Amino acid sequence: MTIDDIRKIITVVDTGSMNKAAEKLYIAQPALSRCVQKVEEEYGITLFDRTQGKKIRLTEEGEMFYQAAKEIMLVNENLVLQIERHKKKSTNRILFGVAPQQAVNLTGEMMRWFYLNAPEFQIETMTASSRQLHQSVLYGEIDAALINVSEFYDELHYEKETKMNTCFYIAKGSALSQKAFKRDDQKNPMLRVEDLNGERFAVNKKGSASRAQFDRLVETYGLNVRIIEEENMYQRLKLSDDGIGTYVLVMDGDSEKTSWWMADESRRAILDPAQDQERWRYLVCRRGFEETEKFKALLKCLRKD
């Protein structure tokens, strides 16, 4: 028995006539009779009392079937409606990932931009480490992510979004604050690589993009530094405020959209760009998604087009 069979039998009952039901359903009366016979044989029941002339009357079994059939049709209609809503939501929804440092202010701005400029899309954001978000894009769990990356996958598209700096939130009381210097062409004070020797640094765990960047810096310049591993960004900030270790970030040094800019301005510095390794933050998606209107809307939002 199918949903269509149930619909046909309900129509027979509601019209009170096999002929009228056939006309309403736009099918031949013999085909409708075969449908009724098939259901009766399938359940071993008799739906209609055929001794009362042309008027269709339900048997006791038929009445039980009719009441259950109406409930089944209601459940089916609700299911179809839910599926349609889900499809519409899936079609219009953008699942977007961003690291916690950027999410503090960026998420609200993106919601506002989409509401004003692309209301046909519903953007939903999630926060996690760059590495976790990178994997989520790779496995199709989210549509796109704005992240720093230390490795690249052939299956993904990488759109350069922002040039990144190695940045420091200097530990309270550290001599690094006295070593920082200003230059007219840079907004922030700078440190040179040689200034970092012998210092303690609070960094993310291995596998993160910021940790990979700092490790390469240490290896490239042969630095002698002490590492404090801490996965939680807020704990890294606290380590710096407590004077335990300088917090290392990889970010746009001029950006005011991160937790770095909420901290003590006198302790902020970037690595001298002449010594820093080129690094970009990318808008990452699976190949092919960059051709969609969703991705184009994300780019416009991030670039304030």
The pLDDT of residue 89 is 54
Whether residues 98 and 230 share a domain: the answer is no
Contact 249, 101 (CB under 8 A): yes
The pLDDT of residue 207 is 74
- Domain hosting 34: range is 3-84
Whether residues 99 and 155 share a domain: the answer is yes
Contact 27, 97 (CB under 8 A): no
Distance CA 102, CA 99 (A): 6
248: three-class secondary structure by DSSP: strand
Number of domains in the chain: 3
Whether residues 69 and 125 share a domain: the answer is no
The pLDDT of residue 54 is 61
Whether residues 226 and 288 share a domain: the answer is no
Q: What is the CATH number of the domain that holds 169?
A: 3.40.190.10
| Last residue in a domain, options 53, 84, 115 | 84
The β-bridge relationship of strands 226-229 and 190-191 is unpaired
The pLDDT of residue 85 is 63
The pLDDT of residue 117 is 94
Whether residues 274 and 288 share a domain: the answer is no
Whether residues 153 and 172 share a domain: the answer is no
The pLDDT of residue 146 is 93
Whether residues 179 and 269 share a domain: the answer is yes
User: Residues 85-108, buried b or exposed e (16+ Cβ, 10 A)?
Assistant: eeeeeeeeebbbbbbebbbbebbe
Amino acid occupying residue 71: E
> Residue 73 corresponds to which tokens in the numbers above?
């049709």
Q: Which residues pair with 284 in a beta bridge?
A: 145, 158
What's the full length of the chain, in residues? 305
Who contacts 197 (Cβ-Cβ below 8 Å, separation ≥6)? Answer: 223, 224, 225
| Last residue in a domain, options 64, 84, 104 | 84
**Average pLDDT of adjacent 10-residue blocks, the chain of 305 residues:** 89 87 88 89 87 75 89 87 67 87 81 92 89 91 89 93 88 92 86 94 84 88 94 89 91 57 77 87 94 94 83
Instruction: Write the DSSP symbol of residue 165.
Output: E
Whether residues 274 and 286 share a domain: the answer is no
The pLDDT of residue 159 is 95
The pLDDT of residue 299 is 93
Q: What is the CATH number of the domain that holds 22?
A: 1.10.10.10
Distance CA 229, CA 240 (A): 13
Contact 266, 186 (CB under 8 A): no
